[in-house]
A and B are shown apart, each in its own frame.
Chain A
Amino acid sequence: DAKTTQPNSMESNEEEPVHLPCNHSTISGTDYIHWYRQLPSQGPEYVIHGLTSNVNNRMASLAIAEDRKSSTLILHRATLRDAAVYYCILRSRASGSRLTFGEGTQLTVNP
């Protein structure tokens, strides 16, 4: 499976936008980019996913580079409840429904 690289931690202030980067230089043409997050003492939850085009949903936006070697998860206005570990994951057809989690980025949101 192609690998992703994320910063270990990031910090933000409440009500400011947050840009969480992910590098995936070995991504293949059919790999989907998925983002999950894990709030303290909870299981991971789905945030967003995309293939080539930028995507928006009620939780976040996903900006995908033109060459697809990197992507950025954008939280438009961070709240204290957004403090979590954010995982960037590549999903390939070969892996079926399996997800391979890395260490993710620990996001701290300051009041």
Chain B
Amino acid sequence: DVKVTQSSRYLVKRTGEKVFLECVQDMDHENMFWYRQDPGLGLRLIYFSYDVKMKEKGDIPEGYSVSREKKERFSLILESASTNQTSMYLCASNADRVGTDTQYFGPGTRLTVL
């Protein structure tokens, strides 16, 4: 069975802390994605990666960075967490085939920044 796992379901951090959100996929997918989901705004793409050590900015990259040192792992980093980064964070992955490239999502991490 296809699997995308995220390191935590719930996380509470303080303003200014450095936060790491980890995502692992076991499908040997080339592409990995980080989204955030907020009420009324839907899912918005933060960053994505087409290959190891490759990264591309999504629609809302400000305040975030990413790391992809291994194919199966994609990390989202909040260098200095702020309250407006309180959100649901969703990781996804897919294979690199247009038209049939279903994205598989993890269960999400609900991050609260106090």
Measuring CB to CB, which residues of chain A are less than 8 angstroms from any residue of chain B?
Answer: 32, 36, 41-46, 49, 51, 91, 93, 96-104
Minimal Cβ-Cβ distance residue in B for A34: B102
Please state if A98 and B106 are interface contacts (CB–CB under 8 Å). no
B25 close to chain A: CB less than 8 A: no
Our pick among B44, B96, B106 for the contact of A43 (Cβ within 8 Å) is B106
B107 close to chain A: CB less than 8 A: yes
Distance to closest chain A CB from B61 (angstroms): 13
B64 close to chain A: CB less than 8 A: no
Please state if A32 and B31 are interface contacts (CB–CB under 8 Å). no
Please state if B99 and A43 are interface contacts (CB–CB under 8 Å). no
| Given A91-B99, A98-B48: A43 in contact with B105 (beta carbons within 8 A) | yes
- Name 30 interchain pairs, CB-CB below 8 A, sorted by A: A41-B107, A41-B108, A42-B105, A42-B107, A43-B4, A43-B90, A43-B92, A43-B105, A44-B90, A44-B103, A45-B105, A46-B102, A46-B103, A46-B104, A49-B99, A51-B99, A91-B98, A93-B98, A96-B50, A97-B48, A97-B50, A97-B94, A97-B103, A98-B45, A99-B45, A100-B45, A101-B35, A101-B42, A101-B44, A103-B40
Contact partners of A42 in chain B: CB under 8 A: 105, 107-108
| Given A43-B92, A44-B90, A45-B105: A97 in contact with B43 (beta carbons within 8 A) | no
Distance to closest chain A CB from B49 (angstroms): 10
Minimal Cβ-Cβ distance residue in A for B4: A43
B101 close to chain A: CB less than 8 A: yes
Distance to closest chain B CB from A6 (angstroms): 11
Chain B 74-114, CB-CB to A under 8 Å as 1, else 0, gives 00000000000000001110101011111111111000000
Complex CA distance for A43 and B40, rounded to whole angstroms: 17
Complex CA distance for A43 and B105, rounded to whole angstroms: 5
Our pick among A45, A97, A103 for the contact of B31 (Cβ within 8 Å) is A97
Minimal Cβ-Cβ distance residue in B for A46: B102
Please state if A102 and B42 are interface contacts (CB–CB under 8 Å). yes
Contact partners of B35 in chain A: CB under 8 A: 101
